[in-house]
Amino acid sequence: MHQPASITSSLAFVIPEIILVVSICITLVLGLFLKQNKSAVLVLVTGVAMLTAICFVVWNWPHQPEPIFAGTLRTDDFAAFFRVLFLSGGSLTLFISLQKESATEYVILIQAIVLGACLLAMSMHFATVLVSLELVSLSGYVLAGFAFNKSSSEGSMKYFLMGSVATACLVYGVSLIYGITGTLDFSSQQFVDTLIQSQSGLILIAAFLILAAVLFKITAVPFHLWAPDVYQSAPTPVVAFLSVVPKLAGLVLFIKIVLAFNLFGQATLDWRVVIAGISILSILIGNLSALAQTNPKRMLAYSSIAQAGFLLAGVATLDLAGIHATMFYAVVFLLMNLLAFTTLHFFEKWKALPTMAHFAGLGRVAFIPASALVIALVALTGLPPTAGFTAKLLVFSSLWSAWADSGLTVLLILFIVGLLNTVVALYFYLKIPYYLFLKETPPGTASIKISFTGNLLVIILVIAIIWLFLNPGLLMGWINRITFVL
Amino acid sequence: MPYISFLIFIPIVTALVALLIPARYTRVFPWLTVGVNILQVFIFILMVIHFKVDGSLQLIEKHSWITLSLSSWGQLQAEYLVAVDGLSFPLVGLSVVIMLIATLSSWHVSKSRKGYFALLLILNGAIIGSFCALDFLLFYVFFEFMLLPMFFLIGIWGGPKREYASIKFFLYTLLGSIFILIVMIGLYLSVQSPENSTEVVHTFNVLYMQNLENFIPGSVLDATTTGSWRLWAFVLLFIGFAIKLPAVPFHTWLPDAHVEAPTAISVVLAALLLKIGGYGILRFVYPVFPDGAVYFSDWVAGMGVVSIIYGALNALASKDLKRLIAYSSVSHMGFVLLGIASATTEGIAGAVYQMVSHGIISAMLFLIAGVLYDRTHDRIIENYSGLASQMKHYTAFVLIAFFASLGLPGFSGFIGEVLIFFGAFQSQSLNNLVQMWMPIVATLGLLLGAAYYLWTIQRMFFGPFAVRANFAELNDLTTREYAMLLPLAIMALLFGILPQILLDYINPFAESFTSMWFSLGINANP
């Protein structure tokens, strides 16, 4: 057991989260009283809060692994890295939403999800996992219905029902684990020792139940079925956010739990095979289903299922190099997915886009968002000169070396399936550039006015994606210093 | 002076500048592009002056680009490493000339000129980058970077079926480059840089990959490892470049892409992009996997022979002039494959010579098809007859191009093919890589080549004048068209009469290429 750290001394380690809580309270009060420029002020306040929180996390670098709150949370570089990522994802989403009239609740829910995700990144205890995961999930269900129309409510309801089942699985799995090990702290020696000794089949059932709930958040196959409906019906900025922050929060949790159940390689089951299998299935099913889609958001939903497969591919190695590659991928994924959905949002605000054919010729009337969308899609495909290529190169390099070291054929299959799927992915990603630029502009199409801040955001994201390709050393150097201990 | 970097980045930077110019200044864009092209020609002339012909790499520029330390598996190192040698230098020269001519031939593009010329400039930089990069990652980046501009150039400015053709082109070539990527990842993780002995540095440097001593013992692609995957790697890498070449049966994207692309893009596609396939085999596949090259030599040579015959037969059956030329490209690139497979000095030199020569001649052929298409918007051979009586100058150029392409002595095509045949016939006695019957069958391709060209001339240019297509006026060549065709015709003749100009560059490369094989003990025991 960890030394129980006192609550007051622990508070110093969660200042970013405290800032978020305070900011939530302030937004709540401000939302009641403000009449004019409400959304601008709210976004400004939360934006400043999130940036301060980011500064705090970065300021305290490097974070010594320190159990806090009686060992339920732990601060370390790994968690800090993802906290920065979640906070950035949250601020960027708010920046996109600045365009529209953001209700108070909207801003609060986004902050709540970021808060939950940050806590999740630090969780070392199933109780905190459960609480923070629910914070993320419940806020997500509400956000998904934020368009307040029939299909949006339906999507939200679907998300809620399936999400509840996932949570139920998680709770059941956790209860089984508690019964076997007598502890909920999955980083503790007691947890590892009992699991190594008992080797009962029940552990596997519990582990699968827990991981199912986590994979639901990552939208990995076979727990992906909710994603297309929700993505299609929810407001686009919300989808941008849901496809990034909760998904990456799920990924962090997945890495932690899988490493815990891997028992330093002493588990009866080779978890690499399981993860590789899920990854192969996600890539294949995500990409092949995306081929048939005509709705752009639905297509991106399936693409994001396939991306989940690529995120898991690095984890499948269960070694440090693979997890580092995945962290790099996570950053790039955040940038490119946000860019894709942001530009999509700009187009949608101007004109409804129920099918991709509605993009016909828009590249000529809105050059900047259209080319940014093309760059985002090229990055999602994984072609140079975008960071999407570098990220895939690193993930697949780690896969190759893991295969070369272990001789585990499933890793080679994942390597080949993943790379060959780039061609499949290109086919459906290409549909949007195809309509944007290759088709004629329908007569009478007015030019799109995108606000200055909108264009600025898009250009910043594009530069980031290309810069990370030209110079991945800085980010990767930062990631490389993160040693991961459970 | 970083000549090569100037060649690569001046067009790319200019393309970005062009994007900032408002689209309404439509006259600026072609002039800007042609200015860049002329500047490139001057830079190339300076490079010729500084190039020392001794078989070594010249004008090397080396800067560190990506250095990542990767916890458990050492360090990843990719460099900005560009240089030219006897293989790439003639091809760079070809690129510079062809891009200038491509710009001239797209002078009257009317649809979104800004985008067109910006993409053409990006394509220009990427092509030269591919020829000069000696770091595998850098090469791969340039290689992939060509695809997107090409996709848009075919898809926006192409013919009636352009959308289908552009997507087919993109998917096919991407499949090839994924094969290359698979091998690239395996290679760099199996190779360590000899520069650093204290720590394992995984390098993308192609020169290091070509030396078997740099492979990490026991790694997947090490030659000494039992159960090595080297043969598989050879096959994947070879197919990756064979799609680009294209060799039968990986050629099906080519006729569509060629027929639908606008004239200038067909020219670039045939004259330069196909060469990257041959260049890739000579630079990456053969030197890195000589064992695979020996093991699969029959297949490589056989694929070459099949391409020669199959391409020629298809050309013979083509009704569309552009399709005929496209299939003749398949046939001529088959010779390149046959020359490479022989791995003799003559064969290799012939393959490089044939690539340059085909670059010149195919560019001419596509321009010729474009001249006719501009006037009548019809390319069906049987709709024309007796053109010689109406378009005398045009016919003269057609005759030059056709005869050069069918390998008439005195033109560059002849030298390339003769050298390839020398190499291929020698190979059985010298290293037993290419069986004697293969070049014998390949000579049939020459015969078929003569047949389809002469038949086309007879059908289209001789006899009474008649055109079954809508056209306003069938004028002879304009000054601009002269300016495009004349330099190419002169080059085809010059390299046919004085092959030494080119062979002085190519031979040292071919000799060091084959001597490397001798040193590997591969040619020693037939």
Nearest to A320 among B72, B112, B178 (CB): B72
Lowest model confidence (mean pLDDT) among A8-12, B301-305, B334-338: A8-12
Percentages of chain A per state (helix, strand, coil), in multiples of 5: 75, 0, 20
Counting residues of chain B whose pLDDT is more than 90, the rounded percentage is 68
Lowest model confidence (mean pLDDT) among A116-120, A215-219, B469-473: B469-473
Stretch A315-337: mean pLDDT: 93
| Cβ separation B166–A473 shorter than 8 A | no
Q: What is the rounded CA–CA span in Å between residue A175 and residue A178?
A: 5
pLDDT value at residue A482: 85
- Read off the amino acid at residue B526: P
CB atoms < 10 A from the CB of A61, how many? 13
| Cβ separation B185–A393 shorter than 8 A | yes
pLDDT value at residue B367: 95
Nearest to A437 among B73, B152, B181 (CB): B152
Of the candidates A368, A367, A379, the residue with the CA atom closest to the CA atom of residue A456: A368
Interface check A320 vs B, CB under 8 A:
yes
Interface check A416 vs B, CB under 8 A:
yes
Residue A1 has pLDDT above 50, yes or no: no
Set of chain B residues whose Cβ sits within 8 Å of the Cβ of A480 = 68-71
Identify the closest residue of chain B to A374 by CA–CA distance.
B148
**What confidence tens digit (pLDDT) does each residue in A93-104 have?**
888 877 565 678
Q: Helix or strand or coil: residue B72?
A: helix
pLDDT value at residue B523: 47
Counting residues of chain A whose pLDDT is more than 70, the rounded percentage is 98
Tokens (6 digits) for B336: 């390149």
Set of chain A residues whose Cβ sits within 8 Å of the Cβ of B137 = 393
**What confidence tens digit (pLDDT) does each residue in A393-435 have?**
999 999 998 998 888 999 999 999 999 999 999 999 988 988 8
Set of chain B residues whose Cβ sits within 8 Å of the Cβ of A422 = 174, 178
Best residue of A393, A417, A420, A463 to probe chain B, by most B CBs closer than 10 Å: A393
pLDDT value at residue B526: 37
ipTM entry = 0.91
CB atoms < 10 A from the CB of B276, how many? 25
pLDDT value at residue B474: 79
Q: Could you write out the three-class secondary structure of B131-189?
A: HHECEHHHHHHHHHHCHHHHHHHHHHHCCCCHHHHHHHHHHHHHHHHHHHHHHHHHHHH
Interface check B339 vs A, CB under 8 A:
no
Q: What is the rounded CA–CA span in Å between residue B452 and residue B69?
A: 58
| Cβ separation A320–B69 shorter than 8 A | no
Of the candidates A125, A347, A400, the residue with the CA atom closest to the CA atom of residue A257: A125
Burial A252-278 (b: 16+ CB within 10 A, else e): bbbbbbbbbbbbeeebeeebbebbbbb
**What confidence tens digit (pLDDT) does each residue in B321-378 have?**
999 999 999 999 999 999 999 989 999 999 999 999 999 999 999 999 999 888 888 8
Backbone phi, psi, residue B288, to 5° = -80, -35
Q: How far is B264 from chain A (nearest CA, A)?
A: 18
Stretch A362-390: mean pLDDT: 91
Identify the closest residue of chain B to A414 by CA–CA distance.
B182
Set of chain A residues whose Cβ sits within 8 Å of the Cβ of B186 = 400
Counting residues of chain B whose pLDDT is more than 70, the rounded percentage is 97
Interface check B70 vs A, CB under 8 A:
yes
**What confidence tens digit (pLDDT) does each residue in A131-151 have?**
999 999 999 999 998 888 888
H or E segment and range at residue B80: strand B75-84
Tell me if A212 sits within 8 A of A223, measured CB to CB.
Answer: yes
Residue B390 has pLDDT above 90, yes or no: no
Set of chain A residues whose Cβ sits within 8 Å of the Cβ of B217 = none
Q: What is the rounded CA–CA span in Å between residue A429 and residue A422?
A: 10
CB atoms < 10 A from the CB of A36, how many? 6
Set of chain A residues whose Cβ sits within 8 Å of the Cβ of B174 = 383, 422-423, 426
Give the CA count within 13 Å in the CB-facing half-sphere of B122.
24
DSSP string, A358-384: GGTTHHHH-HHHHHHHHHHHHHHHT-T
Q: How far is A262 from chain B (nearest CA, A)?
A: 19
Q: What is the rounded CA–CA span in Å between residue A188 and residue A71?
A: 9
Interface check A474 vs B, CB under 8 A:
no
Interface check B226 vs A, CB under 8 A:
no
Q: What is the rounded CA–CA span in Å between residue A158 and residue A164?
A: 10
Crossing angle for the helix pair A38-59 and A104-122, to the nearest 10 degrees: 10
Interface check A477 vs B, CB under 8 A:
yes
Q: What is the rounded CA–CA span in Å between residue A342 and residue A376?
A: 10
Which position has the token pair 């508070």? A11
Q: What is the rounded CA–CA span in Å between residue B392 and residue A145?
A: 73
pLDDT value at residue B432: 84
- Read off the amino acid at residue B10: I
Identify the closest residue of chain B to A476 by CA–CA distance.
B68
Q: Helix or strand or coil: residue B67?
A: strand
Nearest to A423 among B73, B171, B220 (CB): B171
Set of chain B residues whose Cβ sits within 8 Å of the Cβ of A366 = none
Burial zone of B459 (CB within 10 Å; 0-12 exposed, 13-18 middle, 19+ buried): middle
Burial zone of B317 (CB within 10 Å; 0-12 exposed, 13-18 middle, 19+ buried): exposed
pLDDT value at residue B257: 92
| Cβ separation A385–B178 shorter than 8 A | no
Best residue of A416, A423, A475, A478 to probe chain B, by most B CBs closer than 10 Å: A423
| Cβ separation A397–B170 shorter than 8 A | no
Q: Phi-psi region for residue A446, left (φ > 0), alpha (ψ -120 to 50) or beta?
A: beta
Q: How far is B35 from chain A (nearest CA, A)?
A: 26
- Read off the amino acid at residue A329: Y
Tokens (6 digits) for B274: 């196909």
C-alpha dihedral over A55, A56, A58, A62, to 10 degrees? 170
Residue A4 has pLDDT above 60, yes or no: no
Q: What is the rounded CA–CA span in Å between residue B21 and residue A425?
A: 34
Q: Using 50, 70 and 90 to split pLDDT, how confident is the model at B72? A: low
| Cβ separation B68–A472 shorter than 8 A | yes
**What confidence tens digit (pLDDT) does each residue in A183-192 have?**
999 888 888 8
Write the CA distances from B353 to A69, A212, B111, B417, integer angstroms: 74, 61, 37, 8
Residue A7 has pLDDT above 90, yes or no: no
| Cβ separation B66–A393 shorter than 8 A | no
pLDDT value at residue A189: 87
Which position has the token pair 């069986």? B435
pLDDT value at residue B520: 64
Q: Using 50, 70 and 90 to split pLDDT, how confident is the model at A377? A: very high
Tokens (6 digits) for B350: 């012939």
| Cβ separation B68–A477 shorter than 8 A | yes
pLDDT value at residue A3: 53
Q: What is the rounded CA–CA span in Å between residue B282 and residue B317?
A: 32
pLDDT value at residue B471: 65
Of the candidates B161, B142, B147, B155, the residue with the CA atom closest to the CA atom of residue B115: B155
Residue B161 has pLDDT above 60, yes or no: yes
Q: What is the mean pLDDT of chain A?
A: 89
Best residue of B73, B180, B203 to probe chain A, by most A CBs closer than 10 Å: B73
Tell me if B115 sits within 8 A of B155, measured CB to CB.
Answer: no
Q: Helix or strand or coil: residue B215?
A: strand
Q: What is the rounded CA–CA span in Å between residue B479 and residue A74?
A: 77
Burial B321-333 (b: 16+ CB within 10 A, else e): bbbbbbbbbbbbb
Stretch B96-104: mean pLDDT: 95
Q: What is the rounded CA–CA span in Å between residue A463 and residue B406?
A: 50
Tokens (6 digits) for B326: 């496209």
Residue A251 has pLDDT above 50, yes or no: yes
- Could you tell me the sign of the dihedral formed by the alpha carbons of A418, A419, A423, A426, in that order? positive
Q: What is the rounded CA–CA span in Å between residue B237 and residue B117?
A: 32
Q: What is the rounded CA–CA span in Å between residue B358 and residue B219?
A: 40
CB atoms < 10 A from the CB of B249, how many? 11
Q: Quote the Cα angle for A22-A145-A18, to 5°.
A: 15
Q: Which residues of A69-124 form beta strands (DSSP E)?
A: 73-75
Interface check A402 vs B, CB under 8 A:
no
Nearest to A476 among B68, B141, B145 (CB): B68
| Cβ separation A320–B182 shorter than 8 A | no
Set of chain A residues whose Cβ sits within 8 Å of the Cβ of B220 = 400, 404
Contacts of A6-13 with CB under 8 Å at 24 or more apart are A7/A69, A9/A68, A10/A68, A10/A69, A10/A73, A13/A66, A13/A68, A13/A73, A13/A75
Residue B524 has pLDDT above 50, yes or no: no
**What confidence tens digit (pLDDT) does each residue in A155-207 have?**
999 999 999 999 999 999 999 999 999 899 988 888 888 888 887 788 899 99
Set of chain B residues whose Cβ sits within 8 Å of the Cβ of A419 = 178, 181-182
Nearest to A422 among B66, B67, B178 (CB): B178
Q: How far is A72 from chain B (nearest CA, A)?
A: 29
Q: How far is B145 from chain A (nearest CA, A)?
A: 7
Q: Helix or strand or coil: residue A235?
A: coil
| Cβ separation A480–B68 shorter than 8 A | yes
pLDDT value at residue B525: 41
**What confidence tens digit (pLDDT) does each residue in A31-86 have?**
888 877 788 888 889 999 999 999 999 988 888 888 888 888 988 899 999 999 99
Of the candidates B370, B475, B295, the residue with the CA atom closest to the CA atom of residue B104: B370
pLDDT value at residue B37: 96
Cβ-proximal residues to B289 (8 Å cutoff; 6+ apart), any chain: B230, B231, B233, B234, B237
Please state whether the peptide bond connecting residue A442 to the residue before it is cis, i.e. omega within 30 degrees of 0: no
H or E segment and range at residue A324: helix A320-350
Of the candidates B355, B348, B352, the residue with the CA atom closest to the CA atom of residue B518: B348
Write the CA distances from A141 to A86, A136, A152, A433, B175, integer angstroms: 18, 9, 10, 32, 40
- Read off the amino acid at residue A78: F
Burial zone of A197 (CB within 10 Å; 0-12 exposed, 13-18 middle, 19+ buried): exposed
